[in-house]
Amino acid sequence: MGGWNHLSVQAESDPAARTALDSMVTAIREIDRTFSVFDPLSALSQMNTTGALSIPVDSPLLLDAIDASLEHARAFAGVFDPTVEPLMRRWGFRDDPRVAYVPPRHPSIRDWDYRMIVCDRANARIVREAATITLDPGGWAKGLAAERATLAAVRTGAVSAQANCGGDIYWTGNGPGVKRECAIRDPLRGRTDCAVRVRHQFRTVATSANVETFRLTRSGEQIGHLMDPRTGEPAHTGLLSISVFGDDGLAVDAASSALFVMGKCEASRWLSANPQYAAVMIDNRWPKPEGLTVAGALEIQRL
């Protein structure tokens, strides 16, 4: 899906570890074959490009994920919206990133809206009001991939496993109540530079930021890939990054996208009302201490 993956397992023997790693790779490849918008033969690409309004879906994985993503869109009242693929294309994120582009005009009609698409699970169909309503998996598929990869490893007999799919990490094994650790990237520095380290008891973390994926206009303006579905434009909220912790890969991935778009104040209120999640927010005051905000049950170690 246009990203990198880092996989690790703990097993009772080297052959068992290799088997577990192979199962993780297989799980991630299945996600890619199903959801990649860069592969015209993926199930999601085929669904996006058909002109039909009622689309049969043979893949239970695809049907379940779309259903879950639409459920989260409703829960966030559209601040998270899986139908922003037209916006990703309009703002140049499906074009050659080496080529500068001209920012688009706002469309005359709204060609994205989660309320215009329905998952009909009983008949295994996706029904949409217009063929222009297409799905972008960028806000939910990586978290799903990380979770499915680690669970696949445990099913083969691995003691524990960790999958990092483009910054979305899922851990499993080692029993209940185990303390896990991860580093939060410094959004103003390189990929291996950390802002803080976090100890926690959650199963997964997803980070939303514009440090990896952005476009440059001919004038040199940087355009981030995180879209605000309410405006149809890239989100500008003062946040540089937000890392959300929880226990469901797809849900946490979606929440990180939504909370980035919300901005620090609204995201903080949401996190207070949903204590099953936690987050580290880094805003545009960073690297000053006041640029770091922690919400929920996390232990922070500054570097």
Is pLDDT at 221 greater than 90 in this prediction? no
- Residues in contact with 161: Cβ distance below 8 Å, sequence separation at least 6, in sequence order: 7, 8, 9, 10, 20, 24, 149, 150, 153, 154, 171, 172, 173
**Residue type at 82 in one-letter notation:** P
Give dist(CA 219, CA 123) in Å, integer: 50
The pLDDT score that the predictor gives to residue 1 is 62
The pLDDT score that the predictor gives to residue 93 is 84
Give dist(CA 143, CA 76) in Å, integer: 18
Q: What CATH number is given for 162-302 in this structure?
A: 3.10.520.10
The pLDDT score that the predictor gives to residue 239 is 95
The pLDDT score that the predictor gives to residue 91 is 85
The pLDDT score that the predictor gives to residue 198 is 97
**What tokens appear for 277 in the block?**
């999640």
The pLDDT score that the predictor gives to residue 102 is 64
User: 215 or 71, which is more confident?
Assistant: 71
Is pLDDT at 13 greater than 70 in this prediction? yes
In the 8-state DSSP scheme, what is residue 108? S
Domain boundaries of the chain, sorted by first residue: 43-139, 162-302
User: 303 or 123, which is more confident?
Assistant: 123
Give the confidence band of 2 by pLDDT, cuts at 50, 70, 90.
low
Mean of pLDDT values over 225-241: 92
Give dist(CA 133, CA 173) in Å, integer: 39
Lowest mean pLDDT among 40-49, 169-178, 233-242: 169-178
Give the confidence band of 178 by pLDDT, cuts at 50, 70, 90.
confident
The pLDDT score that the predictor gives to residue 109 is 79
**What tokens appear for 219 in the block?**
């004038």
The pLDDT score that the predictor gives to residue 4 is 85
pTM, 2 dp: 0.93
Per-residue model confidence as pLDDT tens digits over 89-122: 888 888 776 665 666 666 667 899 999 999 999 9
Give the confidence band of 250 by pLDDT, cuts at 50, 70, 90.
very high
Give the confidence band of 218 by pLDDT, cuts at 50, 70, 90.
low
Is pLDDT at 220 greater than 70 in this prediction? no
**What tokens appear for 287 in the block?**
């690297």
Mean of pLDDT values over 243-267: 97
In the 8-state DSSP scheme, what is residue 3? S
Burial 36-75 (b: 16+ CB within 10 A, else e): bbebeebbbbebbeeeeeebebebebbbebbebbbebbee
Query: What's the CATH superfamily of 43-139?
Result: ApbE-like superfamily (1.10.3980.10)
Mean pLDDT of the chain: 92
Is pLDDT at 224 greater than 90 in this prediction? no
Per-residue model confidence as pLDDT tens digits over 19-31: 999 999 999 999 9
Q: Tokens 């829960």 identify what position?
A: 75
Per-residue model confidence as pLDDT tens digits over 135-165: 999 999 999 999 999 999 999 999 999 999 9
Per-residue model confidence as pLDDT tens digits over 29-41: 999 999 999 999 9
Mean of pLDDT values over 262-267: 97
